[in-house]
């Protein structure tokens, strides 16, 4: 036994693994020679257990840890407490230490709790003078529990226990140096938490005292020097005194001499020496310090196999984490100091210096960290700018190219999370893919790139919902995790990413095992993150959200308690200015709402609402995040019938315009809006108002939460004449800003094609423009606030009230249709009566989507009921079976396309149209009045104007009662222009654009057939419109071209397109009318709106003349399925661009029907009186307000023709006045 102990002591002094193996072998032999009956047997068990535990500390072997624990347990079982066995306290102490170390290795909190209990028992059994080791061991356990949980008095208790142990340890005691070190460690943790410099000074003095007890080759000298140097380095981080770095360097270098290979402490000393060298480099800019640091980190890494306890630290340092100070302390003062140091280094590396990219990366990373702590968006913009410059300096063969790709991707992803522009997340994925290609196995940073790419895929999945992104994220993260066994430095982040992917998969597929694994992984990640880790609050938030999901699924009250506690801990960890604070508040509010639903305590309800409301108004969160919190507030308040529900939804309205801000170009604005799920917000808000019987409020909310894209554009056309009279200076300022934003809106800010290091300067130029316009947007907001400060302009550019909106219904009622869950409503707006609410038949979102999909399917000539049912199987299970039979027939006798169409129109008549007409008290008439449909959500894809019963015995349909028009919003019908006061004989220009030949295939590979009937359509129009008014484009030998067609918009009163039309489902602003050389795109029509206004003669304060656009093309009123309430299609574009009345099509029309509809339409609109003169409206011109009646007449004539199917006449629709 003595020999075994001696060999083991030599290992502790010299670190030779052979000695440890020999000691273990000897201890095993001793144990075999001392069987159980002998009194020395427990001692032998403890000695062997201790040796194996020491080996486990070196190798990380779980088997060794478990064997040591088993041996100590066996020893303890042989040592009763009554009468007290002399070896019992030793067994308690050793078992407690082994369990504590096992907890550090695996993170199972039960091990740590048991260790604390064992140390407590040992102390209770020992006399006061014999408690030193157990007091010290209990203190270490308490410190560790504090570092994991960060709550309670554990740290204070740990310091007190270490002080008691020190008091029992005289200066001559051989373990006094160990006790001093443990006390210093605890006090140093206290400094890291509280920042009191006195604590740091105390820790340093304790380390110095321990060092004095370890002269020469003392086995503990190197460890004490290592800790003392670390504390001195920390003092520099606090005080910025560069002089202390030299002392730290000297201590580390001497310690390194004392730990030659293969000493177990050598890797730690190598890493710490590298860290202090890197810190001196940041201050002084000496490249040799950085080079030596990298060399030392690599040496450390070489000594650390994956199971080594220092492996995670070695990886982190080798990765070049220049923000080590902040990452260790999370102290904003350290972060600010780091930014100053990085800036100084950058100044020492001018353009042309080969290390400039490194400093750009370092500075950008520090500034981005500051954004993540304080939420100042200017920091994030600056970080992206610096990272782009860094990448520009690192072409593909540059050694830092992979680092530059990774860091730029990280910054751009953070920007995406704030703004929500899909262009950013797509760039992030491309950048991370490129970085991953540069890091094949066994590159040490491959796991980092795998994890970053996976996180980007997760983020895109959350925005766009493509399940392949989620599958890719899960696969990549599992590969990354396999490369990072415990305790790898990157394991914490990877665990979070994988857990997030699994949680998302649970939300998509509902498999509880995914959620259970996610929670387990989140907990493991949290245990690996130290109490001072700057991302600890984020990890807590992630775990809270996952536990919350499980509670919603299982209703386990333990989960409810846990998620409240976790949210509170997370909230306590973030400062009042931390941007993640709003997330913690939101999770706390959701958790407390769940508690209220269980116990119905008003205090819980009020606390929940208070937290959600605070999150939604949190100054340091982005508008996008505040909108999410506001929606959550409204949803919770509505569900729990709290009075704040309606105010919550009203609070969301201004956030929409902040997200789709005027400084963005229109393409970016549309991309961002397409991801907001604003349709859900609109329907939720309206339903909340309806539930409060505030029908006018429901209309106002629907108006202000829909078509945000267009309402932002319309702001730039707000009449300013009243403002000019009252406040000319403010009006002038606003005009200047409007002119700037007109340019900003139509600039090309798409940099997707420019990705790559060689194009970063071009992207920088584009983003510099964006930052300029962002500053102008701030001026805009300030100017608007200044205008509203005057009482007469208090409502300037605010959402319109119901009183204003009712003016849109002067010519006829407007029926706003909305649905929420299983309830659908028609809100009928008239000019003078209160808004009327009609509750419609039960229609949930799945039913409406099913019907909308059916309408789209019926628009194609090859519709087959069986194939449709197979294709819609994912939603069909949620649709009433009887409805499916009514629409499609039974499986054994499915209906034809015409029969299905008839059934669909009957269903729309029964559930929507007829109840509305009844509420209005309308009867069949030969002179039907006007009515406008304003559908929302999936309702926008239903042919409401054609609803009816079409039977052999006769028909009863909408057109028997009203002349139907559509409008995307009520505002689109406001301020109708007065008829022009042009004298008789003044030219009234009608432009017809014809593309009869097959256009060239587009760059997207689209091919179009010829439209031979298009010329016939022109001839029909020619027969109806006076020749002196008619201008043809593409009617002669020349083809119709985009430029010429757009050029005719400026002075045409009527524009008629006979060509192909395309609705781009991915990029709605690219939708357009197809001519010989390309598309007349939505975005181009918007760009020309100023010309349209000039065409309208609206100069100054004069009202614009009426104008008509007839789009005899396919899909010109087909909306965006992903974002139907933004109404980004050709018909809506022309309405918002200035055309007051538009004829369009919901889907593809038959080539032969274009001429027929055009003939009858213009026959009615240009009908001559009995003398042969043109119609006498507006001084001898056609009355364009009758265009809806003209289309009504034309469609009726087509419908009455023998053999005309529903698919041929239903798609023609009217928009506007």
Could you tell me the CATH number of the domain that includes residue 1160?
3.40.50.1460
Q: In this structure, are 1060 and 1203 located in the same domain? A: yes
Q: Which of 733, 741, 742, 725 is nearest to 785 (CA)?
A: 733
Instruction: State residue 1119's pLDDT score.
Output: 53
Q: Summarize pLDDT for 681-717 with one digit per residue, the tens.
A: 888 999 999 999 999 999 999 998 888 877 777 777 7
In a domain, 659, yes or no: yes
**Could you tell me if 548 and 591 are in contact, meaning their C-beta atoms sit under 8 angstroms apart?**
yes
pTM recorded for the entire structure: 0.68
- H helices present in 720-759, as ranges: 721-726, 728-745
- Of the spans 785-794, 1010-1019, 1114-1123, which averages the highest pLDDT? 785-794
pLDDT (average), residues 26-33: 84
Q: In this structure, are 806 and 672 located in the same domain? A: no
Q: In this structure, are 709 and 733 located in the same domain? A: yes
Question: Which of residues 37 and 567 earns the better pLDDT score?
Answer: 567
Could you tell me if residue 1080 is left (phi over 0), alpha (psi between -120 and 50 degrees) or otherwise beta? beta
pLDDT (average), residues 840-858: 81
In whole angstroms, what is the distance from residue 450 CA to residue 737 CA? Answer: 45
Tokens of 398: 């540059």
In whole angstroms, what is the distance from residue 41 CA to residue 30 CA? Answer: 9
Instruction: State residue 978's pLDDT score.
Output: 47
Band the pLDDT of 138: cuts 50, 70, 90: very high
Band the pLDDT of 341: cuts 50, 70, 90: low
Band the pLDDT of 871: cuts 50, 70, 90: low
Q: In this structure, are 1157 and 1021 located in the same domain? A: yes
Q: Summarize pLDDT for 142-183 with one digit per residue, the tens.
A: 998 886 665 678 999 999 999 999 999 998 888 899 999 999
Instruction: State residue 281's pLDDT score.
Output: 63
In whole angstroms, what is the distance from residue 806 CA to residue 971 CA? Answer: 10
Tell me which of 781, 799, 817 is where a domain ends: 799
Residues of the domain holding 699: 644-799
In whole angstroms, what is the distance from residue 301 CA to residue 30 CA? Answer: 37
In a domain, 880, yes or no: yes
Q: Which of 484, 490, 428, 423 is nearest to 453 (CA)?
A: 428
In a domain, 1036, yes or no: yes
pLDDT (average), residues 836-847: 84
Instruction: State residue 642's pLDDT score.
Output: 95
**Could you tell me if 176 and 170 are in contact, meaning their C-beta atoms sit under 8 angstroms apart?**
yes
Q: Identify the weakest region by mean pLDDT among 584-593, 1107-1116, 1150-1159.
A: 1107-1116
**Could you tell me if 833 and 814 are in contact, meaning their C-beta atoms sit under 8 angstroms apart?**
no
Q: In this structure, are 761 and 809 located in the same domain? A: no
Q: Identify the weakest region by mean pLDDT among 46-60, 1043-1057, 1086-1100, 1146-1160.
A: 1086-1100
Sheet order of strands, 1078-1081 included: 1060-1062, 1072-1075, 1078-1081
Whole-number average pLDDT of the chain: 83
In a domain, 1062, yes or no: yes
Q: In this structure, are 893 and 850 located in the same domain? A: yes
Q: In this structure, are 651 and 782 located in the same domain? A: yes
In a domain, 405, yes or no: no
Q: In this structure, are 1023 and 1167 located in the same domain? A: yes
pLDDT (average), residues 289-316: 68
Query: How many CB atoms are located within 10 Å of the residue 426 CB?
Result: 17
Question: Which of residues 1071 and 597 earns the better pLDDT score?
Answer: 597
Instruction: State residue 1114's pLDDT score.
Output: 67
Q: Across 23-166, where does the E strand assignment appear? A: none
Tell me which of 743, 777, 799 is where a domain ends: 799
**Could you tell me if 463 and 672 are in contact, meaning their C-beta atoms sit under 8 angstroms apart?**
no
pLDDT for residue 514 is more than 70: yes
Q: Identify the weakest region by mean pLDDT among 121-125, 185-189, 301-305, 840-844.
A: 301-305
pLDDT for residue 503 is more than 90: yes
Query: How many CB atoms are located within 10 Å of the residue 555 CB?
Result: 12
Q: In this structure, are 915 and 865 located in the same domain? A: yes
Band the pLDDT of 611: cuts 50, 70, 90: very high
pLDDT for residue 466 is more than 80: yes
**Could you tell me if 849 and 819 are in contact, meaning their C-beta atoms sit under 8 angstroms apart?**
no
pLDDT (average), residues 24-33: 85
Band the pLDDT of 95: cuts 50, 70, 90: very high
In a domain, 423, yes or no: no
In a domain, 384, yes or no: no
Q: Which of 1142, 1134, 808 is nearest to 971 (CA)?
A: 808
Half-sphere exposure of 1147 (CA within 13 A, CB side): 20
In whole angstroms, what is the distance from residue 115 CA to residue 136 CA? Answer: 13
pLDDT (average), residues 621-635: 92
Instruction: State residue 334's pLDDT score.
Output: 66
In whole angstroms, what is the distance from residue 1059 CA to residue 1211 CA? Answer: 16
pLDDT for residue 779 is more than 50: yes
pLDDT for residue 1157 is more than 50: yes
Instruction: Give me the number of domains the chain comprises.
Output: 3
Instruction: Give Cβ neighbours of residue 1074 (< 8 Å, ≥ 6 apart).
Output: 995, 999, 1002, 1008, 1059, 1060, 1061, 1062, 1113
pLDDT for residue 1094 is more than 50: no
Q: In this structure, are 780 and 831 located in the same domain? A: no
Band the pLDDT of 872: cuts 50, 70, 90: low
Q: Summarize pLDDT for 1101-1151 with one digit per residue, the tens.
A: 333 354 888 988 665 555 556 556 565 677 877 777 778 899 998 888 888
Instruction: State residue 285's pLDDT score.
Output: 43
Q: Summarize pLDDT for 744-769 with one digit per residue, the tens.
A: 777 777 766 666 656 777 777 777 88
Q: In this structure, are 1021 and 1142 located in the same domain? A: yes
pLDDT (average), residues 8-32: 79
Band the pLDDT of 861: cuts 50, 70, 90: confident
**Could you tell me if 629 and 616 are in contact, meaning their C-beta atoms sit under 8 angstroms apart?**
yes
In a domain, 683, yes or no: yes
Omega cis (within 30) before 83: yes
Q: Identify the weakest region by mean pLDDT among 419-433, 892-906, 919-933, 1160-1174.
A: 1160-1174
Three-state SS letters, 32-66:
HHCCCCCCCHHHHHHHHHHHHHHHHHHHCCHHHHH
Band the pLDDT of 564: cuts 50, 70, 90: very high
* Percent of the chain at pLDDT exceeding 70: 84
Instruction: State residue 1176's pLDDT score.
Output: 46
Band the pLDDT of 477: cuts 50, 70, 90: very high
Q: Identify the weakest region by mean pLDDT among 19-33, 536-550, 754-768.
A: 754-768
Instruction: Give Cβ neighbours of residue 446 (< 8 Å, ≥ 6 apart).
Output: 436, 439, 440, 480, 483
Q: In this structure, are 1057 and 1069 located in the same domain? A: yes
Instruction: Give Cβ neighbours of residue 885 (< 8 Å, ≥ 6 apart).
Output: none
Q: Summarize pLDDT for 1171-1202 with one digit per residue, the tens.
A: 445 554 444 678 888 999 999 999 999 999 99
Instruction: State residue 399's pLDDT score.
Output: 62
Tell me which of 799, 823, 849 is where a domain ends: 799
């Amino acid at each position: 036994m003595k020999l075994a102990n001696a060999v083991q002591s030599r290992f502790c002094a010299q670190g030779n693994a052979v000695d440890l193996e020999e000691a273990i072998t000897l201890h095993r032999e001793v144990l075999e020679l001392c069987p159980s009956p002998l009194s020395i047997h427990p001692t032998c068990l403890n000695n062997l257990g201790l040796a194996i535990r020491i080996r486990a500390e070196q190798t990380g072997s779980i088997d060794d840890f478990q064997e040591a624990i088993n041996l100590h347990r066996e020893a303890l079982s042989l040592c009763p407490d009554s009468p007290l066995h002399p070896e019992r306290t030793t067994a308690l102490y050793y078992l407690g230490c082994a369990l504590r170390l096992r907890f550090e290795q695996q993170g199972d909190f039960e091990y740590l709790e048991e260790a604390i209990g064992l140390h407590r028992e040992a102390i209770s059994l020992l006399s006061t003078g014999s408690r030193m080791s157990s007091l010290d061991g209990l203190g270490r356990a308490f410190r560790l529990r504090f570092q994991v949980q960060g709550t309670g008095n554990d740290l204070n208790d740990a310091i007190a226990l270490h002080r008691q142990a020190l008091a029992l340890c005289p200066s001559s005691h051989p373990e006094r140096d160990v006790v001093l070190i443990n006390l210093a460690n605890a006090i140093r943790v206290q400094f890291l938490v509280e920042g009191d410099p006195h604590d740091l000074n105390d820790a340093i003095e304790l380390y110095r005292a321990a060092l004095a007890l370890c002269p020469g080759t003392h086995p503990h000298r190197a460890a004490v020097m290592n800790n003392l140097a670390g504390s001195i380095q920390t003092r520099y981080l606090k005080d910025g005194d560069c002089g202390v770095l030299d002392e730290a360097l000297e201590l580390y270098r001497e310690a390194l001499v004392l730990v030659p290979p293969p000493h177990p402490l050598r890797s730690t000393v190598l890493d710490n020496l590298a860290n202090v060298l890197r810190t001196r480099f940041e201050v002084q800019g000496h490249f040799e310090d950085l080079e030596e640091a990298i060399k030392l980190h690599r040496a450390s890494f070489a000594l650390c196999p994956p199971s080594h306890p220092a492996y995670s630290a070695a990886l982190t340092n080798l990765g070049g984490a220049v923000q080590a100070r902040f990452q260790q302390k999370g102290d904003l003062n350290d972060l600010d100091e780091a930014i100053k140091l990085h800036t100084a280094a950058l100044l020492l590396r001018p353009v042309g210096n080969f290390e400039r990219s490194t400093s750009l990366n370092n500075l950008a990373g520090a500034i981005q960290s500051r954004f993540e702590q304080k939420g100042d968006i200017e920091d994030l913009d600056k970080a992206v700018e610096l990272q782009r410059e860094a990448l520009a300096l690192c072409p593909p063969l540059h050694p830092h190219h992979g680092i530059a790709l990774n860091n730029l991707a990280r910054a751009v992803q953070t920007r995406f999370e704030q703004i929500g522009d899909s262009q950013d997340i797509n760039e992030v994925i491309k950048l991370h893919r490129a970085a991953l290609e540069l890091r094949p196995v066994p590159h040490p940073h491959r796991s980092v790139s795998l994890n970053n790419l996976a996180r980007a895929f997760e983020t895109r999945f959350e925005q766009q919902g493509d399940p392949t992104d989620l599958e890719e994220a899960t696969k990549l993260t599992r590969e990354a995790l396999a490369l990072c066994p415990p305790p790898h430095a990157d394991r914490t982040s990877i665990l979070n990413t994988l857990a997030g992917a699994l949680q998302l998969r649970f939300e998509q597929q509902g498999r509880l095992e995914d959620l259970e694994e996610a929670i387990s992984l989140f907990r493991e990640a949290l245990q690996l993150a130290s109490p001072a880790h700057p991302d600890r609050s984020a990890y807590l938030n992630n775990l809270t959200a996952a536990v919350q999901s499980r509670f919603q699924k299982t209703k386990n009250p333990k989960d409810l308690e846990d998620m409240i506690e976790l949210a509170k801990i997370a909230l306590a960890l973030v400062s009042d200015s931390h941007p993640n604070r709003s997330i913690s508040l939101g999770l706390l509010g959701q958790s407390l709402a769940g508690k209220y639903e269980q116990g119905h305590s008003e205090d819980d309800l009020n606390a929940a609402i208070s937290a959600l409301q605070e999150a939604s108004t949190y100054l340091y969160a982005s508008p996008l995040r505040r909108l999410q919190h506001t929606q959550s507030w409204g949803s919770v308040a509505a569900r729990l019938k709290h009075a704040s529900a309606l105010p919550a939804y009203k609070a969301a309205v201004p956030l929409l315009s902040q997200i789709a801000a005027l400084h963005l170009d229109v393409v970016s604005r549309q991309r961002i809006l397409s991801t907001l799920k604003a349709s859900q917000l609109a329907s939720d808000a309206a339903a909340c108002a309806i539930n409060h019987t505030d029908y006018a409020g429901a209309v106002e909310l629907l108006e202000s939460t829909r078509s945000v894209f267009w309402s932002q554009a319309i702001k730039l056309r707000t009449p300013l004449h009243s403002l000019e009279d009252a406040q000319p200076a403010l009006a002038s300022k606003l005009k200047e800003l409007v002119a700037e934003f007109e340019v900003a809106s139509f600039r090309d800010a798409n940099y997707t094609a420019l990705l790559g290091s060689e194009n970063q300067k071009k992207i920088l130029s584009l983003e510099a423009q964006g930052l300029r316009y962002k500053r102008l947007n701030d001026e805009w907001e300030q100017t608007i606030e200044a205008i509203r400060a005057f009482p007469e302009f208090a409502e300037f550019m605010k959402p319109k009230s119901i009183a204003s909106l009712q003016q849109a219904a002067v010519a006829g009622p407007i029926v706003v249709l909305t649905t929420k869950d299983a309830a659908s409503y028609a809100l009928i707006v008239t000019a003078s009566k209160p808004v009327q609410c009609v509750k419609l038949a039960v229609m949930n979102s799945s039913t409406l989507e099913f019907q909308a999909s059916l309408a789209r399917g019926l628009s194609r000539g090859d519709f087959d009921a069986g194939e449709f049912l197979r294709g819609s199987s994912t939603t069909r299970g949620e649709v009433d079976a009887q409805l499916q039979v009514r629409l499609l027939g039974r499986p054994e006798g499915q209906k034809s396309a015409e029969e299905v169409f008839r059934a669909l129109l009957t269903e729309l008549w029964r559930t929507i149209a007829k109840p509305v007409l009844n509420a209005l008290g309308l009867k069949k008439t030969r002179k039907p009045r006007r009515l406008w449909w304003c559908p929302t959500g999936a309702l926008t894809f239903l042919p409401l104007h054609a609803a009816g019963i079409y039977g052999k015995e006769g028909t009863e349909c909408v057109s028997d009662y009203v002349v139907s028009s559509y409008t995307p919003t009520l505002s689109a019908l406001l301020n109708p222009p007065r008829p022009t006061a042009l004298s008789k004989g003044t030219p009234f220009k009608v432009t017809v654009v014809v593309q009869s030949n097959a256009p060239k295939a587009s760059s997207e590979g689209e091919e179009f057939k010829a439209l031979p009937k298009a010329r016939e359509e022109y001839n029909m129009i020619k027969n109806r419109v006076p020749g002196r008014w008619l201008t043809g484009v593409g009617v002669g030998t020349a083809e119709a071209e985009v430029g010429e067609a757009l050029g005719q918009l400026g002075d045409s009163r009527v524009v008629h397109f006979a060509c192909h039309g395309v609705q781009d489902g991915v990029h709605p602003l690219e939708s357009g009318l197809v001519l010989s050389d390309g598309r007349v795109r939505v975005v181009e029509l918007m760009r020309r709106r100023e010309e349209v206004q000039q065409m309208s003669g609206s100069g100054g304060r004069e009202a614009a003349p009426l104008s008509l656009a007839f789009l005899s093309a396919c899909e010109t009123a087909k909306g965006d399925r992903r974002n139907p309430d933004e109404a980004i299609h050709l018909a809506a574009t022309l309405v918002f661009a200035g055309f007051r009345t538009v004829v369009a099509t919901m889907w593809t029309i038959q080539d032969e029907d274009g001429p027929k509809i055009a003939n009858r339409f213009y026959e009615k609109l240009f009908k001559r009186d009995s003398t042969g003169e043109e119609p006498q409206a507006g001084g001898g011109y056609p009355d364009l307000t009758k265009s809806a009646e003209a289309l009504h007449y034309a469609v009726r004539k087509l419908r009455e023709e023998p053999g005309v199917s529903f698919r041929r006449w239903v798609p023609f629709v009217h928009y506007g006045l």
